[in-house]
A and B are shown apart, each in its own frame.
Chain A
């Protein structure tokens, strides 16, 4: 019996739940699967796929460039740009 994990380095359930959700969500487009609360939504799935799969190298780079990015955010904010819509609850 091959060993399994409860969560992996991508912080997903087991090994790659996000892919499984995507597959079932695609199937739901063709046949009725039942009450899935409106489904996961394509944009949410894409963002979560990227965050899970590429989060590790992505955040490594972001952390290394933290100071430059902070300066960039401050500059953007001073130019009158809007803040990121955190907590907006939609995707």
Chain B
């Protein structure tokens, strides 16, 4: 009986359909046939398992580095194969047997080996599942054969016994179409010697003359079954060879060139087979290929910081935290399977909702008032009152004492500004009666915020981590100001995607912020590219609910008050959310594969930084025109922004490619370079 080679899946399936007409039994090889691995080398899946065992040992006070664990495993496995070869023609090993012996050597013979083996097996199969992808066309054909009444078997030469293989196949989603799964680890009878086929024929009463076998190995899946009279088809897929050659090179190069480390992670994150959506929205592709690695790396670094600083509670600030929390849930448990991770939850906060509460005890401080005048639409004391939810009328007498009115221009960006007015305003902030009135008006919002935070267990932990997208850390500043008078106020560790620090943050031991991807306090030229498209990150991560305007305290509970979405701004925001839906979906789909990819390659956040910097540079400082037109947001709501129009000259000129028209981006080839050089100048002046 002859066996045939095929170089593409469609030609194999076509021939297989024809051959299967006269066959009652169809058997398939599993690895590289029905399911493919994301990584080129299957042995690389053993490395995260070695790290896992090393961490398990560390928890029990046993020092055994991961490379030693790997060495022990390899030695014992080799020994098992040698012993098997003394009695069987195949040099096979059985995972539960050699792993139990390896664990016994690492943890000692008196350890609870059954429990340890179960734990390690679960992790190894979990990693395998994350790296395996079913081949859609072949699995569809397998299902078709099953529906037409054929007996379907899976035969594999591997160290995993058949019950482990069944778990992998169940995860891949086609166990229901398979009659039996046979592994060479069960009876040490492999396809390589042909005994695997004999064993299957005897156990299940199979007739070789009506049996078709499909696999990828010319020897085990081609020659051997042909010798037994089984018709066989062998797939030598050049596309798979190509894919593996690509990932192999990225992994090899990343060992010597740090630049490629992040790229190799991204190569492992790419969707394969049915995961690949094919031609899709550019927003989806951008979310998957650009924003997902950046935001996942951010969560990776936050998790590392939390574990290093023993932070047990983590809050994601609304509204960007909504997406960040979803990324956290997908990424971090994969990265730290044994760690005591902080309890994470979403905190409904906003600058507007917390601004008033921040003045309940300390009054209105100068740095907080300065923040009001950063947005160009804010002009006078009425804007201060709007931001801090104050009633301007009771302040009339206080303002008059300092020759001010609610309409006196306090921002230098507006017509009619006199520097003396700002000096008088500073004097007003030092006035005890003025501050007493501020505190009186802010008392109720302050109590409501404290009640909400109590409800969210904020005061139960000595240290809390606070995650936000950026940029000045204003939400954390207001939050800490609202609670710092309390003895049980926790130390707040703020983790920002990027910290621009436009206004100096009041850093102390109990309250600090750090920018993870970009921080103005560190000189990072490439990472400063973030500044070119800050609003994009806000819009991309935003929750689908409206912004919070405040908290309402009732007798029994705290109610959240959201901004009305029926007005023009609300409708614009909804339109924007709908537009960015595919972008968010792309980010979340990419995030699923980030954790296993990093876990497998063993990279840290710092290893990925050169690639993240490249992504920031190429996408934000040197973007393609189509990227700017497709990805640029339609509407951006800034709840701090007032309605006043600044004098011409303070607005209008673009500061980066993301603010330019597509026409200008197309016709001026040096435009991006000019903006980049201007950004370098600014950074050097800081």
Contacts and interface: CB of A to CB of B under 8 A. Distances in A.
Q: Which of A2, A5, A47, A56 has the most CB of B within 10 A?
A: A5
Nearest to A88: B252
A20 B527 CA distance: 18
A12 B609 CA distance: 20
A74 interface: no
Contacts of A40: 257, 259-260
B281 interface: yes
Contact of B613 (A27, A35, A56): A35
B610 interface: yes
Contacts of B618: 20-21, 24
B259 A36 contact: yes
Contacts of B239: 9, 56, 59
Contacts of A14: 285, 289
B561 interface: no
A1 B609 contact: no
A52 B263 CA distance: 14
A3 interface: yes
Contacts of B676: 31
Interface stretch (B240-248, B380-388, B396-404): B240-248
Contacts of A13: 266-267, 270, 289
A48 interface: yes
B249 interface: yes
Interface string A7-32: 10101111000001100100100011
Nearest to B527: A34
B238 A41 contact: no
A63 B630 CA distance: 41
Contacts of A21: 614, 618
B7 interface: yes
B639 interface: no
B221 to A, nearest CB: 15
Given A11-B270, A37-B257, A51 B236 contact: no
B245 A59 contact: yes
Given A35-B610, A37-B610, A39-B259, A6 B242 contact: no
Interface string B132-154: 00000000000000000000000
Interface in B4-53: 7
Contacts of B229: none
Nearest to B529: A34
Which of A21, A31, A35 has the most chain B CB atoms closer than 10 A to its own CB?
Answer: A35
A34 B282 contact: no
Band of interface residues on B: 35 or more
Interface stretch (B155-163, B191-199, B272-280, B433-441): B272-280
Contacts of A56: 238-239, 242
A32 B611 CA distance: 16
B271 interface: yes
B349 interface: no
Contacts of B278: 5
A5 B255 contact: no
Nearest to B672: A27
B260 A44 contact: yes
Contacts of B266: 13
A37 B527 CA distance: 13
Interface SS of A by simple majority: loop
Contact of B280 (A6, A11, A88, A90): A6
B270 A6 contact: yes
B288 interface: yes
B346 interface: no
Given A51-B246, A59-B241, A4 B279 contact: yes
B249 to A, nearest CB: 6
A3 B279 CA distance: 6
B227 interface: no
B610 A36 contact: yes
B281 A89 contact: no
Contacts of A91: 252-253, 256-257
Nearest to B293: A13
A81 interface: no
Contacts of B526: 33-36
A25 to B, nearest CB: 9
B282 A1 contact: yes
Contacts of B279: 3-5
Interface string B499-539: 00000000000000000000000001111100000000000
B259 A89 contact: no
Interface string A57-77: 011101110100000000000
Nearest to A66: B236
A80 interface: no
B258 interface: yes
B298 interface: no
A87 B525 contact: no
A87 B602 CA distance: 16
A47 B626 CA distance: 28
B622 A3 contact: no
A91 to B, nearest CB: 5
Contacts of B245: 51, 55, 59
Contact of A5 (B247, B252, B280): B280
Interface of A: 1-7, 9, 11-14, 20-21, 24, 27, 31-41, 44, 47-48, 51-52, 55-56, 58-60, 62-64, 66, 86-91
Interface of B: 7, 236-239, 241-243, 245-247, 249-250, 252-253, 255-261, 266-267, 270-271, 276-282, 284-286, 288-289, 524-528, 586, 609-611, 613-614, 617-618, 622, 626, 630, 673, 676-677, 680
6 contacts: A13-B270, A24-B622, A34-B524, A36-B259, A40-B259, A90-B257
